[in-house]
Amino acid sequence: MALVVRRPQLKWWEKIYLPVIAKGLVITMRHFIRTLTGRTKVTMQYPEEKWNDQLPEHYRGAPALVTDEQDRERCVACQLCEFICPPRAITIIPEEIPSEDKWAKVEKRPLAFNIDMIRCIYCGLCEEVCPEQAIFLRKDYAITGESRAEMVHDKARLYEVGGRRVGLVNKWNDLK
């Protein structure tokens, strides 16, 4: 069953194009004039105007690590984010927490936690997969650097961006 496409039957004046071309020209001219006289609202002028205060709650900006109320790093280096990360932007080297550390009972923490922000696609899967509520996508979107190395956010930078986050589930409480 072939599908028969019905072509519109063109009138003679449509066939010579010129009237329709004129019509098209009128439309574009109208847009030109409206924009020129400022009646059409155009794009936000980025560096001067920013929409920081209008960002929605669920905005997905740069991923960052957070610490809890007691300044414990929440990340335990389970590497699930490294696994789920579609562009493989995350690299984690785990280490054992030494027994003299205050948080030795947590046993494991990241020795290195790098996110290559050139690779990151801001999908938020790392936040979604994290079993420890340790990584969150922040509202920072202007991530720039002058070298590739600078664009790799290391652990210190990630905690600096993430800061302390309170009110989350505290898995490593005193009962633990």
Partner 1 sequence: MADDLVNVQIDGTWHQFPKGTRMIEACRQAGVEVPHYCYHPKLSSPGNCRMCLVEMGMPPRPKPGEELARDEDGRLPIQWMPRPVIACANTVSENLGIRTESALTKSCREGVMELLLINHPLDCPICDQAGECRLQEFSVEHGTGGSRFREDKVKKPKNVDIGPRVRLDDERCIMCSRCIRFTAEVADDPVLGFTERGSHTTLAVHPGRRLENNYSLNTVDICPVGALTSTDFRFQMRVWFLKETESICTGCGRGCNTEVSSREGSILRQTPRENNEVNSTWMCDQGRLDFHYVNSEARLTQPLLKGSEGHRAVSWEIAVKTLADKLAGFESSKIAIIASARLTNEDLYLVRRLAQQLGVKELDVIARFGEDDGYLVAADRNPNSRGAVLVLGLDSDPGSRISGIRRDIESGKIAALLAIGEDLTSPEGGFSPALLSQLEFLGQIHHTANATADAAVVVLPGATSFEKSGSMVNVTGRLQRLAPVVPLPGEAREDWLILRDLLQALDGGNGAGSSDEVFTLLAHEVSAFEGRTLASISPLGEVLIETGETVPLLEREKGRIAKGEIVG
Partner 2 sequence: MDFIALAISAVKIVGLVFLVIMPMVAYAVWAERRVSALIQDRVGPNRVGFQGLLQPVADGLKFILKEDFTPKNVRTGYYWLAPALTMVPALLTCAVLPFGSQLFGEPMVIANLNAGPLFIFAIASLSVYGIVLAGWASNSKYPFLGGVRSTSQMISYEISLGLSIIPVLMILGDLNLGRMVQDQSVNGWLMLPLWGDRFSLKGLLLLVPVVISFVVFTVSMFAETNRLPFDLPECETELVAGYHTEYSSMKFALFFLGEYAAMIIGSGLAVTLFFGGWSLPFGWLSWDGKADIPWWQGLIHMATFFGKVVVFILFFIWVRWSLPRFRFDQLMRLGWVFFFEIAVINIILTAGIMMLVK
Residue ranges in contact with partner 2 by CB under 8 A = 18, 21, 24-25, 27-29, 31-32, 34-36, 40, 42-43, 45
Q: Smallest distance, Å, CB 79 to partner 1?
A: 5
Return d(Cα 144, Cα 151) in angstroms, integer.
7
**Nearest CB to partner 2, comparing residues 13 and 32:** 32
| Residue 21 touches which member of partner 1, partner 2, none, C-beta under 5-8 Å by kind | partner 2
Strand partners, 17: none
Question: Smaller CB distance to partner 2: residue 40 or 70?
Answer: 40
Minimum CB distance to partner 2 smaller for 32 or for 83: 32
Buried b (16+ CB within 10 A) or exposed e, 85-121: beeebbbbeeeebeeeeeeeebeebbeebbbbbeebe
Q: Determine the Cα–Cα distance for residues 72 and 171; give it in Å rounded to an integer.
A: 12
Instruction: Give how many residues touch partner 1 by CB under 8 A.
Output: 19
